[in-house]
Amino acid sequence: MQNENASSEQNCSKHNSIKDYSHLQEAIDNLPYLLMMTLGAWIFIEGMQRSTWGWIIAAGYFSYGIVGAFWIIVFVCPYCNFYGTRLCPCGYGQISAKIVPRGNEECFTEKFRKHIPVIVPLWFLPLLGGGYLIWRDFSWVLLLLLLAFCLNSFVVLPLVSRAYGCAHCSQKETCPWMKKKVQRV
């Protein structure tokens, strides 16, 4: 326990300009991702006219979103500077520390690039499926769900991520997601 506290203090001193995130702040950071999963699932339910298959596909999509989050927690978070701290805006670093050992922080960029593609289909499956379903049988409700999904997934989620979580991250210079944005500034 003492060794764990020393490690946590060492991490905190390394990031002394960054504050701890509250559970409410972590929830705010995760809300757009949760909304993306919910809207994506609802696109399949509504697009398949609330059939059994629509519910099954929606449950599969939503489950994929949960598994995707845990994939990142297991395969990316152990290599992050915020592993095991309250400095992680989404709270994944704390969860990761409870289930997997710490990795080498120098491998963060490599692990990020390797594992982020696992969750990328979450952004496109509802678009492809919903696009096909709306082409097959137009529905205003489905169109509104698709528009809401696009607004949340391609505008709100990246904006919250970059402006809220990533903006305070000490790894943004080495993170493939933020590196390009930092170099432009």
Least confident stretch, 21-30, 39-48, 82-91, 135-144:
21-30
CB neighbour class for 162 (10 Å; exposed up to 12, middle 13-18, buried from 19)? middle
Inter-residue contact 84 to 96 (CB < 8 Å): yes
Q: Name the token pair of 117.
A: 């593609």
Q: Which domain holds residue 113?
A: 21-184
User: What amino acid occupies position 50?
Assistant: R
Task: Tell me, yes or no, whether 6 lies in a domain.
Answer: no
Distance CA 54, CA 1 (A): 48
Q: What is the pLDDT, as a whole number, of residue 172?
A: 67
Task: Tell me, yes or no, whether 30 lies in a domain.
Answer: yes
Quote the strand ranges of the chain, DSSP E. none
What are 75-125's pLDDT values in tens digits? 999 998 888 888 777 888 889 999 999 988 888 888 888 998 999 999 999
pTM of the model: 0.80
Task: Tell me, yes or no, whether 5 lies in a domain.
Answer: no
Task: Tell me, yes or no, whether 116 lies in a domain.
Answer: yes
Task: Tell me, yes or no, whether 173 lies in a domain.
Answer: yes
- Nearest to 159, CA basis, from 55, 53, 29: 29
Task: Tell me, yes or no, whether 63 lies in a domain.
Answer: yes
Structurally, how many domains does the chain consist of? 1
For the chain, the distance separating the N- and C-terminal CA atoms, rounded to the nearest angstrom, is: 42
Task: Tell me, yes or no, whether 16 lies in a domain.
Answer: no
Distance CA 84, CA 38 (A): 28
The helix-helix angle for 140-151 and 121-136 (nearest 10°) equals: 160
Distance CA 152, CA 149 (A): 5
Task: Tell me, yes or no, whether 9 lies in a domain.
Answer: no
Confidence of residue 168 (pLDDT cuts 50, 70, 90): low
